[in-house]
Structure 1
């Protein structure tokens, strides 16, 4: 679990990055989870956008994706969310 201070730190870092993963009309499917997993391994912090044609609400879709890839939800604002998963081999982000 992330502390409040760590979430605040990650939100600040996430405000300047562009969405890498998009959840569309199929919802959270295997291909979306696989691409999210790869992005998390490379970056550790990933912004996710839920498109308007997604059958789920943004909060539900982002939570389902986080569960599928084993990441933590840092923040959900509107249709965008931030996911964090520490890379066990080589960590790029040092949390406070």
Structure 2
């Protein structure tokens, strides 16, 4: 599991930045596949903060999917509203860090 604790203020700032983002990935009926996780890694390496569209209708299932994506993708779920979730993973190298929190 990715352990990067965020304060409430940091989450709030990331959600504010995330409002202007378009979804980078869509999670459809096939669920979390190896290909989805590879694309998730590429997107997080490139952007640090990404938006994912979840096509699941059930609220409880979406919450479980967010938790599973965060665990398997080694990232933090910053927030989820409706069918859209925001994920963050800090870059190790300071030079590659794009999001200021």
Same-fold call, TM cutoff 0.5: yes
Aligned counterpart for 1:2 among listed residues 1, 6, 29? 6
* 2:69 is the alignment partner of 1:69: no
Normalised by the size of structure 2, how large is the TM-score? Answer: 0.86
Which structure shows the bigger proportion of residues in helix conformation?
2
Q: Distance in 1 between matches of 2:33 and 2:57?
A: 14
Distance of 2:57 and 2:77 partners within structure 1:
22
What are the ranges of 5 or more consecutive residues in structure 2 without an aligned counterpart? none
Task: Give structure 1 regions of 4+ aligned residues with deviation exceeding 4 angstroms.
Answer: none
Alpha-carbon distance, 1:53 to partner:
7.4
Relative to the length of structure 1, the TM-score reads 0.91
Q: Which residue of 1 aligns with 2:28?
A: 24
| Structure 1, unaligned runs of 5 or more | none
Query: Is the counterpart of residue 60 in structure 1 residue 70 in structure 2?
Result: no
Alpha carbon RMSD of aligned pairs, Å? 1.6
